[in-house]
Amino acid sequence: MRSSFFPQSRFLTTRYGFPVPPSEVVMTCGSSSGICMSLETFGTPECRLYLEDPTYFIFPAIIKSVHIGTGPNTTTLPSDEYGLCVEALETRLVSTTPSNQTRDLLYCIPAHHNPTACTLSTHRRARLVLLARKYGLTLICDEPYQLLDWSTEPLPRAMRFFDTLDDAVLADLAARTRDGDEVGAAALVSAIASPNAAHTTTTTTAATTTTTTTAAASTSTTPPPVVVSLGSFSKILAPGLRMGWLHAHPALVDRFERHGLLWSGGGLNPMGCYLCTQMITDGTLDRTLAHLCTVYRARSQALCQALREYFPAGTLHFREPSGGYFVWVRFPEWCQVEAMCGYVPPAGEAPPDQLVGGPCTSQNGWGVAVRSGATCTISGKHFGTWARMCFAFYGEEEIRWGVRRLAALYRRYKEHMHM
Ligand SMILES: Cc1ncc(COP(=O)(O)O)c(C=O)c1O
């Protein structure tokens, strides 16, 4: 079955910049199906599940559906501009008795996060894999935005790469990189990944300084794999195809392929797989991806520009994204985003312009809605003053109209709140 994944593996090898053999790839019906089946394959009803807070807003519904990692078994972790706080994870792991019967799981979105748009730094990626090895975690890395990147700085490599490095190399990488310096990290990673690289590690203890030289990647001493990476054609080709891939060490791929759904019918979606293969082979995917990066960059800039233009200075806080789909925006402390979007201005107050496009379906009657950050949490209680704004769907002009109208709604709501 895997020989049919040669085009996918060639595509990923080129795009990821490290070898992705066909034995490491299985086609899925998109990231969502990959998440579901990974939870079922690698988790158990008793296992603990660690996840970022905030997270992909549908993820809580998925864990409820499969009854894995819910309730007291769920541990949320903070994140910041460099992604998941691995220190917070370590603190939790150190103070938690390991489950003897089962491996625990961690779900994360390493690149251009949904909703925060942040990317996990190379430094933290190395530390995360080391922690996963030490504490018996399987990392479900949802990476649908890894290839949707227009940053001028190097993007950290996809998570599977770090799983191919042995402990000494990872520890050294963690020691020699730091958050905020992806240029330096990329140079180190390239040196490590070069075919004949030997790697020098200097360990200092109280009594001695030892220098050891280890082979760079994938040696026989490489510990058991921990990374399950999920990709999606939804974001880079067509969501309606319902196609994606799982990328992991062959031992994990073997386990995944024993899922009942994959036994039946020679794969999850052979027709969709065939279509993707054709579009990889004839260059459609490469062209579409290049086009999307250009269009989305312009749309993300239009959104950020409109937010700066239509809201008074100092009202909103956000960082300009360099990939993915989202801008993560903080409103003032008094402004609960869901309540603002549900606020209906007094009858007779006209919105600032004519509606663009179809009929107005928003609660406020003004045709604007943004996703409250609270819907991106397990508790539904935090991040209520944050909004996730997606720039992928609308054209630049519609985005500007939408922000203008949102700013008008915000002004009315502010008056209503006597702020
Ligand atoms: C982080 C994340 N995971 C999964 C998905 C769903 O992807 P797919 O359409 O491939 O199921 C999305 C899409 O919004 C997403 O942002």
CATH number at residue 349: 3.90.1150.10
Question: Which residue range is the domain that position 398 belongs to?
Answer: 286-416
Task: Tell me the CA–centroid distance for residue 57 and ligand 1, in Å.
Answer: 10
Q: Are residues 73 and 13 in the same domain?
A: yes
Q: What is the residue type of 188?
A: L
For residues 343 and 272, membership in a common domain is answered with: no
Residues 233 and 316 in one domain: no
What is the best residue among 56, 116, 236, 375 to mutate for testing ligand 1's pocket, by most ligand atoms within 8 Å of CB?
Answer: 56
Residues 292 and 275 grouped into a single domain: no
Q: How many CB atoms lie within 10 A of CB 109?
A: 31
CA distances to 211, 348, 390 from 202, in Å = 5, 72, 46
Domain boundary among 217, 249, 282: 282
Give the chain's domain count: 2
Ligand 1 centroid to residue 32 C-alpha, Å: 6
For 208-257, what is each residue's pLDDT tens digit? 333 333 334 444 466 899 999 999 999 999 999 999 999 999 999 999 99
> Is there a single domain that holds both residue 55 and residue 74?
yes
C-alpha 337/C-alpha 407 separation (Å) is: 12
Atom of ligand 1 nearest to the CA of 34: 11
Same domain, 341 and 278: no
CA separation, residue 99 to residues 24, 132, 135, 136, 160 (Å) = 28, 14, 10, 9, 25
DSSP state letters, 252-311 = HHHHHHTSHHHHGGGSS-HHHHHHHHHHHHTSHHHHHHHHHHHHHHHHHHHHHHHHHHHS
Protein residues with CB under 6 Å of any ligand 1 atom? 30-32, 56, 109, 114, 142, 144, 232, 234, 239, 244
Task: Give the Å distance between the CA of 144 and the centre of ligand 1.
Answer: 6
Does residue 264 sit in the same domain as residue 330?
A: no
Of 223, 255, 282, the residue at which a domain comes to its end is 282
pLDDT digits over 246-275, tens only? Answer: 999 999 999 999 998 888 777 888 899 999
Are 200 and 262 found together in one domain?
yes
Task: Per-residue pLDDT tens, the chain, 419 aa: give them.
Answer: 455 678 999 999 999 999 999 999 999 999 999 999 999 999 998 899 999 999 999 999 999 999 999 989 999 999 999 999 999 999 999 998 766 667 899 999 999 999 999 999 999 999 999 999 999 999 999 999 999 999 999 999 999 999 999 999 999 999 999 999 999 999 999 998 876 554 433 333 333 333 333 334 444 466 899 999 999 999 999 999 999 999 999 999 999 999 988 887 778 888 999 999 999 999 999 999 999 999 999 999 999 999 999 999 999 999 999 999 999 999 999 999 999 999 988 876 777 765 544 445 577 777 888 999 999 999 888 999 999 999 999 999 999 999 999 999 999 999 999 99
Indicate the residue among 251, 282, 313 that finishes a domain: 282
pTM of the model: 0.91
**CATH at 67:** 3.40.640.10
**Residue 17 and residue 101 in one domain:** yes
149 Cα: distance to centroid of ligand 1 (angstroms): 16
